[in-house]
């Protein structure tokens, strides 16, 4: 009988002593190779070898279970993967194997509190396998909470460990790169999505078929966000082919849903209908209600685009009814807004207004719920940090008590009285008091830091999306206002040519110039990626036009000098919407931003380094549009009737 291949033990970070004998020489190593290469035959081969390998010694059995869990996860069977993780935990605990017990727990940890608890209980573990898996689990937990800056930070830590230890089975370098790209999707940074996906290569570990589909879907979404739905469809079709080849029905339906969305963006309603009808039976077969609703909604909007409004409402109203019943309020709000726009375009103004009124009601509930959820997230983060500090304090306190007991026994052997012992105990109490004071101060600092990070962008220090949504939810209708979306021109070129560090320097400097330009009269936010938002409360269209010109000029006035000495001519393109007094009653801030985004797109089509300001009337309709340039020469402005 031969010993287990060293690569298998190293890959899983096994530290249990006493390696046993394998059932067949090289069998486990061969199975590991199948799992690492994402071979379709890995799971059947593992199941066929289960009886032989589970009758072997502990190191072989625990290694087999890790491979089985990974194979189930690659196959998309999360329930079976969770059961394998539970078996890992039970077996490792029975053997006193802290490392593998912790790895099994991390594989099924679903909340930040659970991950934090595993971290605290295994503070002494320093193995790379645990470090990488822990940081990945933190990243996953923060994504669920919508804390994308924190998620990105933890994914990067996991990626660094995975790069340094390519022998690890999980997580893989490519899997973490895909996770980081998805975070950039959430933060609306399509350039960073594409540059991150471009680093996925053969040296970072094979992607499983589900992950490969996700990779192309994420790429497609990034292209669509950049205004290139044709490129997005190319990526979506690549993912669709992989899903179809591997029988991944749900993923196939999702890819088709994204293809239908891209055709709707292009206004090609015939192709959108074809993709939606192809997705619908697959979604039904997969038994996923959310994917089925997306297919039905896409089909409804595609029919409406072709003038079949009555037929379209059959699908759209059915989806809305299900979302109301399930209290799926974010999806419900989006659907109501799209329905309102569709009905307005069809000339059904009364029905459009009814849908818009319901949208306002749902949006108000969402804003209140999001505010409450933000408080819960901050509280959970605070509690996690507090528990960590408390447990670490108790651990140190116990260690100090043990040391004190040993010292006391030594003193009893040589001392003639208890005076020395009393003095030592007094010193011990004083140290505990000082430690308690320092811990309380640190807790106050953490609370302040968490409150700040929840409302501010980590890089530029500007306010973030969450702070803006909270401000809009609390704002009462009042005087005129202006929404300005700004995008740094050719920012991807800066990142590609000089690196992301130089790109970050440009973002920080542009943020500083925008803040100086508004001089406290308006609010400047980082909206995502290289995109910023300026909100001016009050003023009229003339003042709003002056504000936009000032923003363009402030950024373009002088080159940006990086730490490396490069002087970069940086310009921005902007799209803005000016609302008169009382405009809040006719149009909500989400719709206002959508109109500003359309104006931004016109500026990009017009050669960039300019802005379009749409001026709305009291009904919320765009009455006129102005093209603005950074040189503040008003006579060059073109007045265009909407």
Instruction: Say yes or no to pLDDT of 391 above 70.
Output: no
Domains belonging to the chain, first-starting first, are 368-455 (no CATH), 465-641 (3.30.70.270)
pLDDT at position 512: 93
Distances (CA, A) of 523 to 453, 464, 471, 532: 17, 11, 11, 11
Q: Which of 86, 164, 83, 109 is closest to 131 using CA atoms?
A: 164
pLDDT at position 22: 46
pLDDT at position 117: 85
Q: How far apart are CA 106 and CA 93, in angstroms?
A: 14
Instruction: Say yes or no to pLDDT of 521 above 50.
Output: yes
- The pair of three-digit structure tokens given for residue 611, joined into one six-digit string: 């802005």
pLDDT at position 413: 59
pLDDT digits (tens, 9 = 90+) for 442-466: 566 655 556 667 788 888 889 988 8
pLDDT at position 426: 63
Please, which residues have CB within 8 angstroms of residue 101's CB and are 6 or more apart in sequence?
88, 89, 92, 93
pLDDT at position 635: 34
pLDDT digits (tens, 9 = 90+) for 488-507: 999 988 888 888 888 889 99
pLDDT at position 11: 40
pLDDT digits (tens, 9 = 90+) for 76-114: 788 888 999 999 999 999 999 999 998 999 888 888 888
Q: How far apart are CA 437 and CA 440, in angstroms?
A: 5
- Average pLDDT for 17-43: 73
Higher pLDDT, 221 or 42: 221
Task: Report, in this order, helix, strand and coil percent for the chain, each rounded to 5.
Answer: 70, 10, 25
pLDDT band at 547 (very low <50, low <70, confident <90, very high): very high
- Average pLDDT for 168-186: 90
Contacts 24+ apart (CB under 8 A), 603-610: 603/573, 603/574, 603/575, 604/227, 604/487, 604/573, 608/489, 608/490, 608/571, 608/573, 609/489, 609/552, 609/556, 609/571, 609/572, 609/573, 610/552, 610/573, 610/574
Q: How far apart are CA 23 and CA 56, in angstroms?
A: 6
- Average pLDDT for 472-487: 85
- Average pLDDT for 178-202: 90
Instruction: Say yes or no to pLDDT of 329 above 80.
Output: no
Any idea of the CA torsion for 584, 588, 594, 599, to the nearest 10 degrees? 0
Q: How far apart are CA 281 and CA 99, in angstroms?
A: 45
Q: How far apart are CA 399 and CA 47, in angstroms?
A: 47
Q: Which of 349, 348, 319, 312 is closest to 336 using CA atoms?
A: 319
Answering whether pTM is above 0.75, one says no
Q: How far apart are CA 605 and CA 598, in angstroms?
A: 11
pLDDT digits (tens, 9 = 90+) for 285-295: 888 888 888 88
- The percentage of the chain sitting over the pLDDT mark of 90, rounded to a whole number, equals 27
Higher pLDDT, 20 or 455: 455
Q: What is the DSSP string of 258-294?
A: HHHHHHHHHT-HHHHHHHHHHHHHHHHHHT-HHHHHH
3-state secondary structure of 108: coil
pLDDT band at 221 (very low <50, low <70, confident <90, very high): very high
pLDDT digits (tens, 9 = 90+) for 403-416: 666 666 656 555 55
Q: How far apart are CA 158 and CA 134, in angstroms?
A: 8
3-state secondary structure of 247: coil
Q: How far apart are CA 55 and CA 536, in angstroms?
A: 71
Instruction: Say yes or no to pLDDT of 626 above 80.
Output: yes
Helices assigned H by DSSP within 525-632 = 541-556, 589-605
pLDDT at position 423: 63
The DSSP call for residue 562 is P
pLDDT at position 383: 57
pLDDT at position 636: 34
- Average pLDDT for 220-225: 90
């Amino acid at each position: 009988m031969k010993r287990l291949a060293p690569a298998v033990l190293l890959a899983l970070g096994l530290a249990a002593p006493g390696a046993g004998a394998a059932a067949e020489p090289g069998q486990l190593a061969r199975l590991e190779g199948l799992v690492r290469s994402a071979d379709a035959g890995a799971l059947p081969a593992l199941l066929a070898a289960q009886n032989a390998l589970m009758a072997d010694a502990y190191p072989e059995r625990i290694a087999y279970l890790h491979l089985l869990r990974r194979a189930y996860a690659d196959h998309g069977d999360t329930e079976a993967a969770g059961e394998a993780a539970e078996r890992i935990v039970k077996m490792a605990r029975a053997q006193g194997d802290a490392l593998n017990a912790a790895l099994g727990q991390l594989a099924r940890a679903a909340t930040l509190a659970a991950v934090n608890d595993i971290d605290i209980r295994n503070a002494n573990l320093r193995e790379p396998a645990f470090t990488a898996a822990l940081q990945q689990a933190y990243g996953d937990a923060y994504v669920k909470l919508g804390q994308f800056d924190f998620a990105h930070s933890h994914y990067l830590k996991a990626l660094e460990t995975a790069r340094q230890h390519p022998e690890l089975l999980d997580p893989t370098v490519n899997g973490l790169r895909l996770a980081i790209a998805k975070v950039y999707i959430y933060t609306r940074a399509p350039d960073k999505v594409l540059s991150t996906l471009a680093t996925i290569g053969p040296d970072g570990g094979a992607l499983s078929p589900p992950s490969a589909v996700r990779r192309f879907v994420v790429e497609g979404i990034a292209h669509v966000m950049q205004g290139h739905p044709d490129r997005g469809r190319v990526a979506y079709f690549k993912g669709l082919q992989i899903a179809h080849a591997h029988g991944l029905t749900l993923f196939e339906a999702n890819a088709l849903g994204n293809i239908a969305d891209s055709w709707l963006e292009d206004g090609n309603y015939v192709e959108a209908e074809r993709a939606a009808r192809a997705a619908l039976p697959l979604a039904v077969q997969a038994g996923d209600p959310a994917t089925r609703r997306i297919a039905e909604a896409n089909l409804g909007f595609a029919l409406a685009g072709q003038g079949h409004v009555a037929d379209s409402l059959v699908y759209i109203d059915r989806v809305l009814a299900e979302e109301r019943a399930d209290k799926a309020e974010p999806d419900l709000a989006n659907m109501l807004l799209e329905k309102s726009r569709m009905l307005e375009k069809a000339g059904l103004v009364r029905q459009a207004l009814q849908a818009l009124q319901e949208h306002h009601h749902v949006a108000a509930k969402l804003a209140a719920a999001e505010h409450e959820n933000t408080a819960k997230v901050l509280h959970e983060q605070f509690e996690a940090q507090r528990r960590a500090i408390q447990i670490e304090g108790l651990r140190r306190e116990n260690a100090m008590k043990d040391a004190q007991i040993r010292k006391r026994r030594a003193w009893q052997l040589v001392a003639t009285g208890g005076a020395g012992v009393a003095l030592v105990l007094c010193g011990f109490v004083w140290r505990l008091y000082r430690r308690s004071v320092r811990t309380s101060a640190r807790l106050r600092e953490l609370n302040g830091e968490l409150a700040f990070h929840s409302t501010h962008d980590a890089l530029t220090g500007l306010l973030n999306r969450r702070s803006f949504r909270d401000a809009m939810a609390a704002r009462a209708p009042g005087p005129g206002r202006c929404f300005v979306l700004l995008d740094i021109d050719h920012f991807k070129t800066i990142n590609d040519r000089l690196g992301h560090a130089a790109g970050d320097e440009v973002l920080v400097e542009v943020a500083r110039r925008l803040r100086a330009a508004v001089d406290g009269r308006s609010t400047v936010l980082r909206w995502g990626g290289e995109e910023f938002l300026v909100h001016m409360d009050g003023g009229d269209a003339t003042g709003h036009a002056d504000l936009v010109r000032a923003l363009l000029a402030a950024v373009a006035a002088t080159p940006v000098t990086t730490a490396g000495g490069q002087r970069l001519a940086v310009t921005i393109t902007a799209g803005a919407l000016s609302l008169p007094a009382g405009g809040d009653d006719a149009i909500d801030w989400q719709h206002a931003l959508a109109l500003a985004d359309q104006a931004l797109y016109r500026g990009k089509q017009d050669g960039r380094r300019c802005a379009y300001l749409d001026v709305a009337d009291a009904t919320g309709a765009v009455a006129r549009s102005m093209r603005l340039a950074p040189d503040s020469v008003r006579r060059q402005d073109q007045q265009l009737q909407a």
